[in-house]
Amino acid sequence: MCDLSAKLVAWLDQELPGSEANDVARHIESCAECKRKLDSYRRVSSLFKAYCESTEEAATGRKLPPWIRTLSYTAAAVAVVVAALVLVLLRLPVEPLPPQAMAPTAPSIAPASDSNRAVAAAASAPVRPSLPTKVRHLRATAPMRYPDADFLPAEPGIQVAIPAEAMFPPGAMPAGVTFTADFSVASDGSVQRLRLQPRLVELQRRSTQP
Amino acid sequence: MSDDSVPFALPLSSCPAASSEATTLYRELRKPLLRYLICLGLSNDEAQDVVQDVFLTLQRHLASGGSQENIRGWVYRVAHNQARNRQTSYERRFAAPLEAAIDSASEEATPEHTLLEKEKFRLLEQAIRLLRDTERECLLLRAGGLRYREIGEVLGISTSTVADTVERAIKKLAEKCNV
């Protein structure tokens, strides 16, 4: 047991006065036992510090708990699946529509100022002829509605219902909650305005079951 | 709230130096102080409350011309005493297993590494539980970067006692954790 071994921690913390610090530094060079102890104290000190950081992270939630991260991965996966679904749907063969539906029946809207463009678009919506055939087909199979006044897509949208169980861990959402993914397809086939909304669709269906 | 925002009003137009000093100290000490309080056993909310109180006290202290010597030690002492006053939280800290801290350890690492790290934390936590309060507090303040002199000021003990206590505590942990 070295005399200087009691000063190793203070030396590590740079708390020894100059002369003593030099003595310890010289001693460590020649004493394998003290060098080993010093390394051990250094390791346990950094482990302690890491433990404190970890405790703080756990308490302040700066590092998200695992289940939330799982949830966000699941949501991302669902978004990818929805996007893939849209692509598949858009590539389905589409029955040709009757010729009169294909023919343009209304003139394109004249350039409108910003203030009345929305009104003009709303007025012309029922007779808008220039929608791509594929989108028209989708609209026929999936009627849609937009409850929010601030969410009025330029093109008709598509809804895909996703059960809450597909996105959330069991018990995280009340029974019967379903999510609806709203999105529109632009004339070039790209998906726009993707939005998820909770719906209580399941509840009604269940209440009618025996 | 961003880490650097100062959530308390600084109505010190008569004493702008004190105001800017308090703001500088807040930016510098808020995070380490929060960590210390949480490691002492306060919840995140309690720790945030204490930090807020401490800096309001500091602001008054500086505005009334209080000493600026060893101001970091002063800030930690006020925080430490406030944490002590919340005795229930204080005792809760090492009374129950702290799985959260262990679980949040190095989650980005490989599974083997994580397992090893968790095991190290588990051993360390067991060893920390066996320390005396003063030993634990010395190590927590030391991990926050405080000098022995400042630690002594926070805990109301002499610098040489701090040196002895830190040394004893580190030796205990090193022995128990086998690192």
Q: pLDDT tens digits for A88-117? A: 888 766 555 555 544 444 444 444 444 444
Q: Does the interface ipTM go beyond 0.85? A: no
Compute the distance between CA of residue A10 and CA of residue B43 in angstroms, rounded to an integer. Answer: 32
The distance of A83 to chain B (nearest Cα, Å) reads 29
Task: Look at residues B47, B145, B8, B105 and name the one whose alpha carbon lies nearest to residue A57.
Answer: B105
The distance of A68 to chain B (nearest Cα, Å) reads 13
Alpha helices in A31-65 (DSSP H): 32-60
Closest alpha carbon within chain B to A49: B143
CB–CB of A9 and B107 under 8 A?
Answer: no
Any A CB within 8 A of B177 CB: yes
Buried b (16+ CB within 10 A) or exposed e, A90-122: beeeeeeeeeeeeeeeeeeeeeeeeeeeeeeee
Closest alpha carbon within chain B to A51: B121
Strands (E), A135-199: 157-163, 178-185, 191-199
Note the maximum CA span of chain A. 103
Q: What is the pLDDT of residues B98-154, one digit of tens each?
A: 555 555 554 555 667 677 788 888 899 889 999 999 999 999 999 999 999 999 999
- Range with lowest mean pLDDT among A130-139, A155-164, B58-67: A130-139
The whole-model pTM stands at 0.56
The distance of A34 to chain B (nearest Cα, Å) reads 13
CB–CB of B107 and A63 under 8 A?
Answer: yes
Which residues on chain B are in Cβ contact (under 8 Å) with A51? 101, 121, 124-125, 128
Q: Mean pLDDT throughout B18-28?
A: 83
The distance of A195 to chain B (nearest Cα, Å) reads 28
pLDDT of residue A111: 46
Confidence of residue A181 (pLDDT cuts 50, 70, 90): confident
Contact (CB, 8 A) for A4 and A33: no
Which residues on chain B are in Cβ contact (under 8 Å) with A10? 148, 163, 166-167
3-state SS class at A157: strand
Whether the CA torsion B38, B44, B49, B52 is positive or negative: it is positive
Check pLDDT > 60 for residue A149.
no
CB–CB of A9 and B166 under 8 A?
Answer: yes
Any A CB within 8 A of B147 CB: yes
Q: What is the pLDDT of residues B33-56, one digit of tens each?
A: 999 999 988 888 889 999 999 999
Closest alpha carbon within chain A to B35: A56
Q: Percent of chain B having pLDDT more than 70? A: 75
Residue A120: DSSP 8-state: H
CB–CB of A45 and B170 under 8 A?
Answer: yes
Any A CB within 8 A of B51 CB: no
The closest CB to that of B143, out of A9, A15, A52, belongs to A52
* pLDDT, mean over chain B: 82
**Residue A153: alpha-carbon gap to chain centroid:** 23
Closest alpha carbon within chain A to B166: A9
Closest alpha carbon within chain B to A16: B163
* pLDDT, mean over chain A: 69
Task: Look at residues A10, A36, A42 and name the one whose alpha carbon lies nearest to residue A24.
Answer: A10
Task: Look at residues B78, B75, B92 and name the one whose alpha carbon lies nearest to residue B40.
Answer: B92
Which residues on chain A are in Cβ contact (under 8 Å) with B160? none
3-state SS class at A132: coil
